[in-house]
């Protein structure tokens, strides 16, 4: 899904205080900017770079050329963290983009702060065109907050297992595995005996959520008021990771560059496995060709069952726009999430085909026969769970990440103790 995460509750409070001052002026300016017959100009802010950004730029260019009523001006704002912070600041100043990418775990915080347009009536009005039921059900969990629709799935993802088939074969291992935590450990021990690093892994909450789901647990209670990650199901993944780290079967990367460092180890054939977003499939295939090794993808190994969170972004409309801008933004979002365009971005990058009609199309079914690495994430969706949508979840995730890191790195810290301490802090954040 590429880098997800944070949005500050304190920042959102400041946004709402400041936005009360600017909304009237902003509304007036927006209304005057698009007189009758004049092209409506809207801003679209994006996150992430590389092939992901290229795909978005290509789609925006195609949309602008497809009609002469709306002009979309796209601007990349960096990571999801950076994008979210900039949208908050722009919203407070009265000049937020009409449309933005929004990482799905922040939908609750943004919508409950009043920053997003409720898309429910628009989707109902245009049901024949939008066809909400055509979106893969496994991707819709975080699209709704408190029963209202706030985003349409756009570049959506799950974590998957990337395998260096060449390294596995050289070690005498069957590249069709591993399928379980136990098998993953067995593969790791063989690779280690051959002088190889089985996996380099950042302490990433997205991956942790997957292992909790695989163990049959939940990170938070259904009412979003209590931490559950200190339950046996929440502690088991941390115990597993600590054991794998102590045995030299997983090399944990830490710090601000942890994700990039883990990716480099896999790219350079230092590590045989990596957990990564399906958004990286196209890039992984290119890297494997360049470095002369074979790559395959698979489900994340199961514990009691398979399980993964979804990730990536929705397309949302910010709430302080004129009626004309809102309609233009909605037209753009509908176009971006169409069957044809979900097929395009899926093949260009690797993100999931959001629509069932796209997944079932002859075009993709034929494509999968030649490129099976792209299909794994869609098949894995039957085991997908929504990410927690508590307003405080970004802060809670940071608390969890710190506790998990400490439990793995510090030999004197027991996973249960670390997660108990983190749960106390999390419950205070959730009660606000």
- Checking if the pLDDT of 100 tops 60, the result is yes
pLDDT tens for residues 131-174?
Answer: 999 999 989 989 999 999 999 999 999 999 999 999 999 999 99
Instruction: Provide the pLDDT for residue 256.
Output: 85
Which pLDDT score, from 0 to 100, does residue 37 have? 65
* pLDDT tens digits, one per residue of 309-335: 999 999 999 999 999 999 999 999 999
Q: Higher-confidence residue: 77 or 26?
A: 77
pLDDT at 4: 44
The predicted structure's pLDDT at residue 2: 47
Count Cα atoms within 13 angstroms, Cβ side, for 373. Answer: 25
Alpha-carbon separation of residue 281 from 29, 56, 205, 350, 359 (angstroms): 43, 17, 21, 5, 16
- CATH fold match for the domains 9-157+311-377 and 159-309+392-430: yes
Report the pLDDT averaged over residues 89-98. Answer: 95
337 Cβ contact partners less than 8 Å away, ≥ 6 residues apart = 135, 152, 153, 154, 315, 354, 355
Is residue 297's pLDDT more than 70?
yes
318 vs 81: CA distance, rounded Å: 17
What integer is the mean pLDDT of 98-105? Answer: 95
Q: Distance of alpha carbon 340 from its chain centroid, rounded?
A: 22
What are the tens digits of pLDDT across the range 191-237? Answer: 999 999 999 999 999 999 999 999 999 999 999 999 999 999 999 99
Instruction: Report the largest interatomic distance among the alpha carbons of the chain, rounded to a whole angstrom.
Output: 72
Which of 18-22, 71-75, 105-109, 336-340 is the least confident region? 18-22
Residue-level pLDDT at 38: 87
The CATH number of the structural domain formed by 9-157+311-377 is 3.40.190.10
Q: What's the pLDDT score for residue 22? A: 37
243 has a pLDDT exceeding 50: yes
CATH number among 3.40.50.300, 3.40.190.10, 3.30.420.10, 3.10.180.10, domain 159-309+392-430:
3.40.190.10
What's the mean pLDDT in 84-100?
A: 96
ω into residue 126 within 30 of 0, thus cis? no
Using the CB atoms, write b or e for 149-168: b if 16+ within 10 Å.
bbbbbbbbbbbbbbbbbbbb
Q: Is the pLDDT of residue 106 over 50?
A: yes
Report helix, strand or coil for 220: strand
Share of the chain above pLDDT 70, in %: 91
Question: Has residue 284 got a pLDDT over 60?
Answer: yes
In the chain, what are the domain boundaries? 9-157+311-377, 159-309+392-430
């Amino acid at each position: 899904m590429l880098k997800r995460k944070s949005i500050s509750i304190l920042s959102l409070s400041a946004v709402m205080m400041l936005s009360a001052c600017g909304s009237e002026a902003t509304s007036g300016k927006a209304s005057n900017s698009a007189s009758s017959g004049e092209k409506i100009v809207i801003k679209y802010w994006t996150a992430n770079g590389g092939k992901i950004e290229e795909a978005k730029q290509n789609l925006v260019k195609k949309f602008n050329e497809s009609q002469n009523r709306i002009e979309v001006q796209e601007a990349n704002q960096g990571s999801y963290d950076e994008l979210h912070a900039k949208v908050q600041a722009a919203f407070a100043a009265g000049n937020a983009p009409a449309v933005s990418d929004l990482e799905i775990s922040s939908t609750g915080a943004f919508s409950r702060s009043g920053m997003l347009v409720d898309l429910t009536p628009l989707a109902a009005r245009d049901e024949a065109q939008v066809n909400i039921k055509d979106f893969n059900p496994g991707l819709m969990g975080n699209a709704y907050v408190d029963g209202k629709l706030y985003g349409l799935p756009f570049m959506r993802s799950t974590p998957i297992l990337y395998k260096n088939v060449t390294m596995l074969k050289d070690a005498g291992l069957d590249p069709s595995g591993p399928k379980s935590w136990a098998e993953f450990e067995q593969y790791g021990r063989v690779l280690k005996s051959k002088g190889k690093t089985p996996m380099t892994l950042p302490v990433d909450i997205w991956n942790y959520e997957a292992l909790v789901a695989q163990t049959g647990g939940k990170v938070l209670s259904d009412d979003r008021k209590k931490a559950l990650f200190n339950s046996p199901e929440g502690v088991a993944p941390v115990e597993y990771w600590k054991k794998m780290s102590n045995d030299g079967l997983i090399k944990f990367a830490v710090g601000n560059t942890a994700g990039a460092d883990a990716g480099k180890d896999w790219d350079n054939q230092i590590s045989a496995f990596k957990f990564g977003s399906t958004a990286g499939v196209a890039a992984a295939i290119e890297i494997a060709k360049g470095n002369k090794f074979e790559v395959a993808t698979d489900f994340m190994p199961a514990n009691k069952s398979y399980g993964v969170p979804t990730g990536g972004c929705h397309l949302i409309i910010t709430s302080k726009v004129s009626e004309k801008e809102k309609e233009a933004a909605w037209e753009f979002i509908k176009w971006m999430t169409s069957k044809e365009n979900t097929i395009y971005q899926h093949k260009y990058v690797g993100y999931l085909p959001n629509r069932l009609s796209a997944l079932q199309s002859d075009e993709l079914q034929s494509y999968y026969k030649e490129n099976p690495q792209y299909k794994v994430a869609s098949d894995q969706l039957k085991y997908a769970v929504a990410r927690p949508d508590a307003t405080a979840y970004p802060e809670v995730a940071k608390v969890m990440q710190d506790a998990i890191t400490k439990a793995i790195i510090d030999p004197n810290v027991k996973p249960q103790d670390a997660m108990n301490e983190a749960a106390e802090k999390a419950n205070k954040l959730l009660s606000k």
